[in-house]
């Protein structure tokens, strides 16, 4: 049985590509901080792991690709406005 991944595809390993990817994670309700190991993310409602082992591997691969391409600090910078939006904080343009 083949299942469809819930993890968005990284279309480009760039700052803008990372920004879009984090935004798509948020849209799917899967956003997590990129410094956290996806294998350690749990749902608060039922204390179940958020990601399957195959999704964890996929997320680690994408995060590594982003970090290798643009660096750790730029990866965090790309995630920042998405986290602020998820928390309802409006940023100045």
| Interatomic CA distance for residues 82 and 72, integer angstroms | 16
Residue 86 pLDDT exceeds 70: yes
- CA-to-CA separations, 75 to 2, 5, 18, 35, 48, in angstroms, rounded: 31, 22, 7, 10, 27
Per-residue pLDDT tens for 13-60? 999 999 999 999 999 999 999 999 999 999 989 999 999 999 999 999
Domain boundaries, the chain: 15-86
């Amino acid at each position: 049985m083949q299942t469809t991944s819930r993890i968005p595809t990284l279309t480009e390993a760039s700052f803008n590509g990372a920004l879009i990817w984090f935004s798509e994670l948020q849209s799917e309700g899967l956003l997590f901080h990129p410094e956290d190991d996806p294998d350690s993310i749990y749902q608060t409602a039922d204390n179940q792991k958020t990601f399957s082992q195959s999704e964890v591997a996929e997320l680690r691969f994408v995060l590594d690709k982003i970090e290798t391409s643009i660096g750790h600090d730029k990866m965090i910078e790309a995630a920042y406005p998405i986290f602020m939006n998820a928390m309802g904080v409006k940023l100045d343009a």
